[in-house]
Each structure stands twice: as structure tokens, then as C-alpha cells.
Structure 1
């Protein structure tokens, strides 16, 4: 099965789309690089190549983990399978 989403670290709560785009309600194959595991997720939104998808439900104030590192905080609740981007995540730097 082809990989649609890459998750770098087991602790990550987002994955990165590695195909042209995923469509709403698409069953996606996710590869966790850290341990060579695969998991499945169904998308909620259309998400373009290079953009993030929520692997779990995230609440306002939660920390986004990508590459095993804190990359920002949730400013609007995100459901599992939804697009994670500037409309619902902000940096903690300012």
C-alpha cells in the first residue's frame, strides 16, 4: 500500500501529506518513520501536499508536535483528520 502521510515521530500528533492532495473522507495510509509502523486515518478535509493533518482530536491550547518537537499551539479546536494550518495553529514565539 502506498504512503499518503508521513509521521516522523511516534509522539507526533500531526502527519504530513506526501501525495498531491488527499480528499475528504479518504482512507489514508500513514507511515511512522521512527519505528517503521503504519497506521490508517480518514481525512475530513481536502489537504494539499506538504500540509499537516491532525492524527488526534486537538483542543484549543494544545501543543502541536511534529518531528518530535513543539511547533506551535492550537488556537481553534481541530478534529482528527482535519487540516492543520495557520487558521487553527499559531507559533508560541509571539
Structure 2
């Protein structure tokens, strides 16, 4: 059973569909076609509905969800880390520009 969903094949984050525990080996699924997504190790506790990094995201790179940039990383984010307000600046406030 998957632990997170990926909305679009270009996304670099997935959304937890269960509470994820630090150190847990988890897997995702692409909701476009229900194909198997990546398997990775959670580096943080990730609550239901929150985002997880599917790859390393460098400071200043866009965070991609739904195939579109939703924010920019304000620091390096490692694959398996919790992605939230502590490491992402919303594009809603930055007018779609990198920080």
C-alpha cells in the first residue's frame, strides 16, 4: 500500500496519505495512471497531507506539485525530508520568481 501520492510525473514532492515515521521505508504512486512511484526512506516525521521531497531540491530551486511550481526552496532539501513552510517560500508571495 502506498504512503504518498504524486500528482504529476514532473513533481519533486509527494503528499503523505498516512502519517509517515522518520526512518520508515516508504513508497509512492502516481495518481495520473496509478503506476508505482519511487521508494525512499523518510528522513523526518511527515504528517498526513504534508509534502515529502522525492529528490534532492537545491536552495533556490522550485518545489513542483501538480506539475507546476508552488514555491522555492529557501535551503537545500534532501530526498525524504518534510517539505513545508520551514524550507519553502510560497510562490503566491514571491510572484513566481526564485528567491
* Fold in common (TM above 0.5): yes
**Shorter-chain TM band:** over 0.9
Name the Cα RMSD after superposition. 1.0
Give distance in 2, aligned partners of 1:35 and 1:63.
Answer: 24
Name 1:34's counterpart in structure 2.
32
Name 2:61's counterpart in structure 1.
62
Question: Could you list the per-position Cα deviations for residues 31-74 of structure 1 after superposition, in whole angstroms to 9, with x for gaps in the alignment?
Answer: 01123221311100000000000000011100011011110000
C-alpha displacement of 1:12:
0.2
Give distance in 2, aligned partners of 1:69 and 1:35.
Answer: 18
TM-score, with normalisation over the residues of structure 1? 0.92
Name 2:88's counterpart in structure 1.
89
Q: Which structure 1 residue ranges, 4+ long, deviate > 4 Å from structure 2?
A: none
Structure 2: tracts of 5 or more residues without a match: 95-99
Name 2:21's counterpart in structure 1.
23
Give distance in 2, aligned partners of 1:48 and 1:6.
Answer: 13
Bigger strand fraction: 1
Give distance in 2, aligned partners of 1:13 and 1:91.
Answer: 15
Q: Is the 1:55–1:80 contact (alpha carbons within 8 Å) kept by the matching residues of 2?
A: yes
Q: Is the 1:10–1:35 contact (alpha carbons within 8 Å) kept by the matching residues of 2?
A: no
TM-score, with normalisation over the residues of structure 2? 0.88
